[in-house]
Amino acid sequence: MDINVCNGECNVMSVIIAVIIFLILAPLVGGLISGADRIITARMQSRVGPPVLQPFYDVLKLFGKQNLVVNKYHGDYVLCFLIFTILSGCIFFGGGNLLLAIFALIVANVFIVLAAYCSNSPYALIGADRELLQMLSAEPMLLLTAVALFQVTGSFNVSEIIKTNRMPFIYLPGVFIALTYILTIKLRKSPFDLSTSHHGHQELVKGLTTEFAGPSLAYFEIAHWYETVFMLGLVYLFFANVPILGVLVVIGVYFIEILIDNVNARFKWELMLKSAWLATLILGVGNLFLLYILSF
Amino acid sequence: MDWVTFLILFPLIPAVLLLFTKKNYEAQKWIVLISSILIIIGSIGLAVEQIGHTGGFRYISSHFTNNLVMLGDVIVALVFLYICRSLPLKKYWIPLMVVIQYGLVLYYDFAGKMPEMNRYIFLDNLAVIMALVIGIVGCLIAVYTVGYMKKYHEHHHEIPDRSHLFIATVFLFFFAMYGLVFSNSITWIYFFWEITTLCSFIMISYSKTEEAMNNAFRAVWMLLIGGLAFAMGIIYAANVCNTIDLQLLLASKKSLVLVPILFLCFAGMNKAAQYPFGGWLLGAMVAPTPSSALLHSSTMVKAGVYLVLRCSPILQDTDAGAIIALIGGLSFLAGSALAISQRNAKKVLAYSTIANLGLIILCAGIGTPFTLSAALLLIIFHAVAKALMFISVGSVDNATGSQDIEDMYGLCYNMHRMGIIMIIGISGMFLAPFGMLISKMAVIQALALRNPIFPPIVIFGGSLMLFFWTKWMGYLIAITDKKPVEYHKDIGIEWIGLWGLAGLTIISVVFYPYIGKLWIVPMYGECPLFSEGVQLTILLMLVMMILPPLTIVARRRNVVFTKPYLAGVNVEEKGEYLGSLGASRSWSFRNYYIEKYFSEKKLLNATILSSLILWILMFVMENVMS
């Protein structure tokens, strides 16, 4: 009885510690990844690039700027986007239910879309619709990943998935590849940066972030760091039983993302939707079918 | 007198009383208010009484009640034929269907060929939860109806005011629904079953316009197909299985009773508007909005899924069950996809109803305890949120004269309270941590174990849903340049229904674990969904959901207001911008409806065809095997 109580408390303590570590480390890691991303991108384009800490300087500067908003609710939705992104990360890194974590991420995503919708700006509205299309393209594969991991490890809880003694990747190579495919959509990188594409590239004026300025834009950036860490955590789960390999794969996958970002022109939304769903159906669902037939 | 008898019979009193209140709004209001309160008390009383019990029969040994039901059958059949009198001769097959099915059932009844039984009433937690849904959600809609109909006739002078008849039908509906969920004799269920069809006809044909009559008859003939299947199920059960006691049928050997059960499931899925029968539910939109709210949430379609859920013990682990699940899955996918291409708010809601019912049918077809628990949660959450969505669309329609989602741009700004209520409703339909999403999570968890087909169906359908709900929600919260117009000063008694259901949408999320522990776990056993970890996370998310309203209330300093970027100098007053030639130019925005892929033209026929193939496949397979 006593042991049980202790176990329970220790569990709660370890969850709280994990969550606190995540809250502090994730933006640091996310920011550094973003900085490294910019340097590598610059090198690929034969430029020197900014210092690795540049994303942090940017965000700090944004906080110092005037808080320009188009209406009084606008900034609050961005804040909710940040909060729910953090929450999804907390559920994930606290070892909680993977499905719930993904649903929390979806809620966060809905909030950023709402932020764009409420701005009454045609550019932001187009960005919002495009973000919705990106969600429509990517969400099935995200959830399917959770189902696939469950079928291999027998649990939806991240804390139990990482304790597995078999490597999910060996059973789920198709799911893994499909996940990396939609990762580009979730990270809003080219060729799937439809919803936040830059001024100068084309007519869309930075998509759904068009009307964010100052602190709102800073929140958006920070949320993006958390989002990146969450997504890479999902990639890591496929190699959870060999942590070093997991970290290496995560770095490799992110490098490939940067490479794809730099060598591709933007897709049209139809191509994005079709290719993402095809990848999900053929690689993801196909993988599950194989798993079912072979029933390891 | 116990709660069951009270709940079945009491709604008849207001139904009769209301017939005498033509154009007497005050009388209607008080009759509806008082009887609604009584019905809600009755439903809750029954539920409380039933805590800790798992199920029990009421025995009625005298023939009197059964004879009364037979007499009722005759009356219902005559009413059907009376309705059909206005039909052109070439639609002879509609009354023919009535004659065939009632001819069969009544012949068996009067010839004494029906097997004897005395366990006429069966009360278990499934019936209790249905009673709660019917009572609470239904009565809130009934209260709303009184106020709505008054305004409806203020806006539609061309339609004769027969609102007393309409509201009386609402209560007749309750009578039929309560009878249906408590009955254990399939002939009794059949009697109540056909009354719901009759009620929906009265409601859909309310305005008596040509479109309304057409759609009402379409509903009748489609639903009569289900009734015909039901009648065949009864005859088969009476002849071959030698019993019409539903619980006895369900306890028999699967191979013996699968055929009549499949007939009943067919009837259930027909009533639940599963493809190929989705059409009648779409046509039902022409009726005044409360009838849609009623048909889509707590009554009618829920009667259909209730029957399939009842039969699920027989379906579990059979090929037929898997095919029923597939048909449900197909309706889920098709309904969600079709909803994307719709601009009319009621149509979007109708397609999403078909989709969600498909999900429930999918769960029932699989039939494991976990999926059944998920199905029950879906029934509860869907009833509350869908009823709320329909009645708020109705009020918006009354205020602005439009059901077009494009016209709802900036609704929150113009109708604050109505906007908030609609946002609660939409959140309830698809957003974590609200009800429908919890249930969807449960479905995914429950299916993940079994196979590679069903989880992808649920996941893809869910993503499609996310798309159309979010774009609608975005339209509601948009802040426009125009000055707000205060529309809702003339919404009166409707607020009870609106706020009541909005409150329920939130409260049901907080209390769903208790509903689970008190009524679902005793019936279907433990389910990971009611575990404390999941509960805690959901509560946490719910608390987080309070943040958006809080941040909106909190005034922030240092905010500098600006105008949206329009790629030109903004013209302040009009929300326009200066074009290159110096003229003020306006901009406009229309949402994505993606008709290229999701329109009815593209999808509907394929869906109906594939569902037909699945049905034929199922019946052929059963016959080959048996």
What distance in Å separates the CA atoms of residue B224 and residue B81, rounded to the nearest whole number? 12
Contact residues, B window 516-545, toward A, CB-based 8 Å cutoff = 533-534, 537-538, 540-541, 544
Give the mutation candidate from B543, B565, B572 for the A interface (greatest A CB count, under 10 A).
B565
User: What distances in angstroms separate CA B556 from CA A269, B343, B553, B561, one per listed residue?
Assistant: 37, 36, 9, 12
Residues in a beta bridge with B185: B245
Tell me, what's the pLDDT at A200? 42
Q: CA of A110: which chain B residue's CA is closest?
A: B470
Share of chain B above pLDDT 90, in %: 55
Task: Give the Cα separation of B454 and B452 in Å (integer).
Answer: 6
Q: What is the ipTM of this complex?
A: 0.93
Alpha carbon distance B565, B579 (integer Å): 13
pLDDT-derived band at B247, boundaries 50, 70, 90: very high
Cβ under 8 Å to A: B residues 189-228: none
Amino acid at A285: V
Please answer yes or no on whether B451 and A292 come within 8 Å at the CB atom. yes
Q: What is the mean pLDDT of residues A82-109?
A: 92
Q: Is the pLDDT of residue A5 over 60?
A: no
Whole-angstrom Cα distance, residue B177 to residue B135? 10
In sequence order, the β-bridge partners of residue B571 are B576
Which among A19, A70, A71, A156 is the top mutation candidate for probing chain B, defined by the most B β-carbons within 10 Å of its own β-carbon? A71
Task: For residues A158-179, give the mean pLDDT.
Answer: 93
- Residue-level pLDDT at B307: 95
Of the candidates B468, B511, B186, the one whose C-alpha atom is nearest the C-alpha of residue B351 is: B468
pLDDT digits (tens, 9 = 90+) for B252-303: 888 889 899 999 999 999 999 998 998 899 988 889 999 999 998 888 999 9
Answer whether A89's CB lies under 8 Å from A228's CB.
no
Please give the angle made by the CA atoms of B237, B240 and B246, to the nearest 5 degrees.
25
Q: How confident is the model at residue A71 (pLDDT cuts 50, 70, 90)?
A: confident
pLDDT interval class at A198 (50, 70, 90): low
Evaluate if residue A210 carries a pLDDT over 60: yes
If contacts are CB pairs under 8 Å, which of residues 168-207 in chain A contact chain B? Answer: 205
CB atoms within 10 A of CB A44: 14
Mean pLDDT throughout A242-269?
Answer: 92
State the pLDDT confidence band at B311, using cuts at 50, 70 and 90: very high
Region A12-16: mean pLDDT is 86
Q: Provide the pLDDT for residue A107.
A: 92
d(CA B180, CA B127): 9
Nearest to A87 among B441, B452, B541 (CB): B541
Distance of alpha carbon B352 from alpha carbon B358, whole angstroms: 10
**Whole domain around residue A204: which residue ranges?**
2-294
Instruction: Give the 3-state secondary structure of residue B185.
Output: strand
Give the chain B residue nearest A15 (alpha carbons). Answer: B533
Q: Which residues of chain B have a CB within 8 Å of the CB of A117?
A: 473-475, 477-478
B313 touches chain A (CB under 8 A): no
Please give the order of strands across the beta sheet that includes B584-585.
B570-571, B576-578, B584-585
Does the beta-carbon distance from A118 to B567 stay under 8 Å?
A: no
Q: Is A97 on the interface with B (CB under 8 A)?
A: yes
Mean pLDDT value across residues A270-292: 94
pLDDT grade, residue B625 (50/70/90)? Answer: low
Does A249 reach chain B within 8 Å, measured CB to CB?
no
Rounded to the nearest integer, the mean pLDDT of chain B is 89
User: Are the C-beta atoms of A103 and B438 separated by less than 8 Å?
Assistant: no
Q: Is B462 on the interface with A (CB under 8 A)?
A: yes
Residue B327 host element (H or E): helix B319-340
Nearest chain B CA: its distance from A48 CA (Å)? 32
Contacts of B236 (CB under 8 A, 6+ apart): B259, B260, B263
Q: What is the pLDDT of residue B302?
A: 94
B474 vs A205: CB contact, 8 Å cut-off? Answer: no
- Residue A8 is predicted with a pLDDT of 47
- How many Å lie between the alpha carbon of B564 and the closest alpha carbon of chain A? 5
The reply to whether B574 touches chain A by the CB within 8 Å rule is no
Answer whether residue B358 shows pLDDT above 90.
yes
Record: contact A117-B560, CB cut-off 8 A: no
Q: How far is A204 from chain B (nearest CA, A)?
A: 10
DSSP code string of A157-172: BHHHHTT-SS-HHHH-
pLDDT score recorded for residue B191: 95
Write down the pLDDT at residue B534. Answer: 77
Query: Hey, is A1 helix, strand or coil?
Result: coil
A89/B contact by beta carbon, under 8 A: no
Give yes or no for A160 touching B (CB within 8 A). Answer: no
Structurally, chain A folds into a number of domains equal to 1
Find, among B422, B332, B418, the residue nearest to B375 by Cα: B332
Q: How far apart are CA B11 and CA B592, in angstroms?
A: 45
Q: Coil, strand, or helix at residue B557?
A: coil
- The pLDDT confidence band at residue A201, using thresholds 50, 70 and 90, is very low
- Residue A117 contacts B where some CB pair is shorter than 8 Å: yes
Which pLDDT band, with edges at 50, 70 and 90, does B523 fall under?
Answer: confident
Partner B contacted by A83 (CB < 8 A): yes
Which amino acid is located at A139 in the chain?
Answer: E
- Count of beta carbons in the 10 Å neighbourhood of residue B316: 18
CB A173 within 8 A of CB A288: no
> Under an 8 A CB cutoff, do A83 and B478 touch?
no
Instruction: Give whole-number Cα distances, A89 to A21, A144, B548, in Å.
Output: 11, 18, 19
Task: Using CA coordinates, name the residue in chain B closest to A206.
Answer: B565
pLDDT at A30 over 90: yes
Angle, CA of B424, B372 and A88, to the nearest 5°: 45
- In three-state secondary structure terms, B59 is strand
Q: Using a cut of 0.90, tell me whether the model's pTM lies above it.
A: yes
pLDDT at B503: 94
Among partner residues A72, A120, A132, which is closest to B564 by beta-carbon distance?
Answer: A120
Q: Do A122 and B432 touch (CB under 8 A)?
A: no
Whole-number Å distance between alpha carbons of A103 and B541: 10
Is B20's pLDDT higher than 70?
yes
Under 8 Å CB-to-CB from B299, ≥6 apart: which residues?
B134, B138, B173, B174, B176, B177, B196
Kindly identify which residue of chain A lies nearest to residue B438, measuring between CA atoms: A100
Distance to chain A for B42, nearest Cα, Å: 37
Is pLDDT above 50 for A3?
Answer: no
- What Rg do the C-alpha atoms of chain B give, in angstroms? 25
A132 touches chain B (CB under 8 A): yes
Instruction: Name the percent of chain B lying above pLDDT 70.
Output: 97
Q: For chains A and B, what is the number of CB pairs under 8 angstroms?
A: 180
Q: What is the pLDDT of residue A204?
A: 47
Work out whether strand B584-585 and strand B576-578 pair parallel, antiparallel, or are unpaired. antiparallel
Q: What is the DSSP string of A86-154?
A: HHHHHHHHTT-BHHHHHHHHHHHHHHHHHHHHTT--HHHHHHHHHHHHHHHHHHHHHHHHHHHHHHHHS
Over range B480-507, report the average pLDDT. 82
Residues in chain B: 626
B228 pLDDT higher than 60: yes
B477–chain A Cβ distance below 8 A for any pair: yes
Q: Where are the alpha helices (DSSP H) in B111-244?
A: 125-132, 138-155, 163-182, 186-204, 210-236
Is the peptide bond between A122 and the residue preceding it cis, with omega within 30 degrees of 0? no
- What pLDDT was estimated at residue B622? 78
Q: Cβ contacts (< 8 Å) between B587 and chain A: which residues?
A: 122
Q: Which tokens is B509 given?
A: 């999320």
Contacts A143 to B, Cβ<8 Å? 444, 459, 462-463
Confidence (pLDDT) at B560: 82
Contact between A147 and B455 using a beta-carbon 8 Å cutoff = yes
SS3 at position A175: helix
Contacts 24+ apart (CB under 8 A), B198-202: B198/B76, B198/B79, B198/B80, B198/B83, B199/B169, B199/B172, B199/B173, B199/B300, B200/B284, B200/B291, B200/B295, B200/B300, B201/B83, B202/B165, B202/B166, B202/B169
Backbone dihedral angles phi then psi of residue B90, each to the nearest 5 degrees: -70, -15
Which of A149-158, A206-215, B134-143, B274-283 has maximum average pLDDT? B134-143
- Residue type (1 letter), B409: Y
Q: Which residue has the tokens 């909060």?
A: A83
Give mean pLDDT, residues B429-433.
85
Task: Tell me, yes or no, if A269 comes closer than 8 A to chain B by beta carbon.
Answer: no
CA atoms within 13 A on the CB side of A19: 14
- Alpha carbon of A66: minimum distance to chain B alpha carbons (Å): 7
A70: contact with B, CB 8 A cutoff: yes
Chain A: residue whose CA lies nearest to B431: A107
Cα B290 from Cα A263, distance rounded (Å): 56
Shortest distance, CA B289 to any CA of chain A (angstroms): 28
Q: Per-residue confidence at A4, pLDDT binned at 50, 70, 90?
A: very low
Residue B342 clears pLDDT 80, i.e. is over it: yes
- What is the share, in percent, of chain A residues with pLDDT greater than 70? 94
Query: Are A136 and B471 in contact (CB < 8 Å)?
Result: no
Other CB atoms within 10 Å distance of the CB of residue B251: 11
Averaged pLDDT for residues B197-221: 92
Inter-chain touch B473–A119, beta carbons under 8 Å: no
Report, as an integer, the average pLDDT of B446-454: 82
Mean pLDDT, rounded, of chain A: 88
Q: How far is CA B302 from the centre of its chain?
A: 6
What average pLDDT does this structure show over B414-432? Answer: 88
Whether residue B54 is predicted with pLDDT greater than 80 in this model: the reply is no
